[in-house]
Structure 1
């Protein structure tokens, strides 16, 4: 594994030198020389991939705490050593997967070491490799803005070090084929805007007020609390949309449902398409099932959510009554798989979007689920 680590780190260092030289030529000036840092050893990649000591019985240690000194001693009271974090895989396929992570992690660590030591202070970007997760979409959407590890940290252990993004430095304006931070930011901003009324400082204070003193001591600071809510919203969206902005197609499971819904409930298809335009995967499913009665005689119907992933949709038409809104929420609360209700207000002349949100927040039904509205402009907003 050390061989894979060393080759990856050296490749990153060589790439850094190549880009730095090209930028120096392009800018027409010499960039200041500096002492290059040593290549990272395999232990740093192992530490990163293990999530530090957080997945052991001894969380909170630093990398230096588990590295033996010249006398072979480690400086933590538990005796945890970096060797204890090396993987113990049983088969070749697991090792191949792990080595791929080692290569990308060592390359990233080596590149960041070079950038951090460079007195010319290049900016750098996280450039995804193919479709990536919500956390990396958020960071990659910022483009070439990072100067240090810390400016991009915001939860470095989000996927236990198994990020596959590339670290690319730049000494000026730069465009990379296939990397479109403005597109990524558009999707990130859409998700953040959807829940913006629920991520204010006042809402954070409300959240803290529900915690005990012991829980408050461990509560995340506002910035991280807000970020985690935004990431959860992004996680709910379709991965392809999140990366490209391309809406997922409305689906039907089984396919025969399309004809039935088109004939009987075409308004639901319009609502599903609006959801898809906002990056939510909308797949219709059978929403009524017959189950045996408890006495063993006959059956009765049980209603389920309209869409997969527990999404119940309501297309509002000429709706102006709070009782109607509450009735919809009560109905959803009786459906065992319903987790989210989406009320489509885009075709409704009976109330404004703000009025609808206020009425939803006053209703007591469906308190354990999420409630969204589709606004008159077609955008998605979470009401509660």
Structure 2
């Protein structure tokens, strides 16, 4: 029984539900604490938000681990004990460093709780930032959980980064490799082992999922065609290598500090991909 679109949708829906519950709890917490003086409010958030995030990382990670067991059972009858992962470690082992990092982010962003010269305090900016961080950390845990279990599975499945319709050019570039990942050495996603987000807002801009393939050519995921994605990538790559880049594109790239020569640079290749196929990507560049 192949892994299908319905299976991928179940994985995504489980994460969306975990995010919904976590953000609802964040909203309640915010209203309970927001009348505090800014310094006390910041310190309370630094103490309470990591625990909230951890709780729902466990919810989303458990759902992802169970999902992996279910789709694995389509092919094998043997027992495989799954774990929850965050990054390259189990969630338990990664938690202390993750909590410290989150507290650092909150302290940094909490500056908006105070007036700054002519700029008034803007607590809503911090609230939106925290909502986005909650979203990304829960979804990342699910992705890392599927990837981590695929890596340690004795059946050694390959797995792919599967993008969704309307994804950005970067996600399409990473997804174009198809089901080639199977180990620590081959799964770094070309130097980007994490999933990207807006560095200013923390907003999750990636909706990719990590999907295993237990039998070559078996998966049936509607809309995911690594062959089509690779053709678009190759078209951009060849244009850069052949020196056929339009002059106005080259001038715009130089003005933005993007190399026009390094076809292996993701910033370079995705710029050309977005220009060549503006309607194919959520961040396409139209004339």
TM range (shorter): 0.5 to 0.7
Aligned partner of 1:16 in structure 2 is: 68
User: Aligned pair in 2 of structure 1 residues 196, 187: CA closer, same or farther (>3 Å)?
Assistant: same
TM, length-normalised to structure 2: 0.55
Deviation at 1:241, TM superposition (A): 2.6
How many angstroms apart in 1 are the aligned matches of 2:262 and 2:160?
Answer: 21
Aligned partner of 2:133 among 86, 98, 116:
98
Tell me which structure has the larger Cα radius of gyration: 1
User: Aligned pair in 2 of structure 1 residues 44, 238: CA closer, same or farther (>3 Å)?
Assistant: farther
Runs of 4+ with deviation above 4 angstroms = 41-46, 222-228
User: Aligned pair in 2 of structure 1 residues 224, 45: CA closer, same or farther (>3 Å)?
Assistant: farther
Q: After superposition, give the CA deviation of every residue in 1:40-65 in whole Å (9 maximum; x if it has no partner).
A: 3699899xxxxxxxxxxxxxxxx97x
Alignment of 1:190 with 2:235, yes or no, is yes
SS at match of 1:167: strand
RMSD across aligned positions (CA): 3.8
Identify the structure with the greater strand proportion: 1
- Aligned residues of 1:9 and 1:107 also touching (Cα < 8 A): yes
Aligned partner of 1:232 in structure 2 is: 271
Identify the structure with the greater helix proportion: 2
- Aligned residues of 1:188 and 1:242 also touching (Cα < 8 A): no
- Any stretches of 5+ residues in structure 2 without a counterpart? 1-52, 111-122, 199-203, 245-260
Size of the aligned set, in residue pairs, is: 190
User: Aligned pair in 2 of structure 1 residues 40, 237: CA closer, same or farther (>3 Å)?
Assistant: same
- Aligned residues of 2:157 and 2:213 also touching (Cα < 8 A): yes
- Any stretches of 5+ residues in structure 1 without a counterpart? 25-29, 47-62, 69-79, 200-221, 244-278, 283-384
How many angstroms apart in 2 are the aligned matches of 1:166 and 1:11?
Answer: 14
- Aligned residues of 1:4 and 1:102 also touching (Cα < 8 A): no
- Aligned residues of 2:57 and 2:138 also touching (Cα < 8 A): yes
How many angstroms apart in 2 are the aligned matches of 1:93 and 1:118?
Answer: 38
Alignment of 1:159 with 2:196, yes or no, is yes
Structure with greater contact order relative to length (CA < 8 Å, sep ≥ 6): 2
User: Aligned pair in 2 of structure 1 residues 41, 127: CA closer, same or farther (>3 Å)?
Assistant: closer
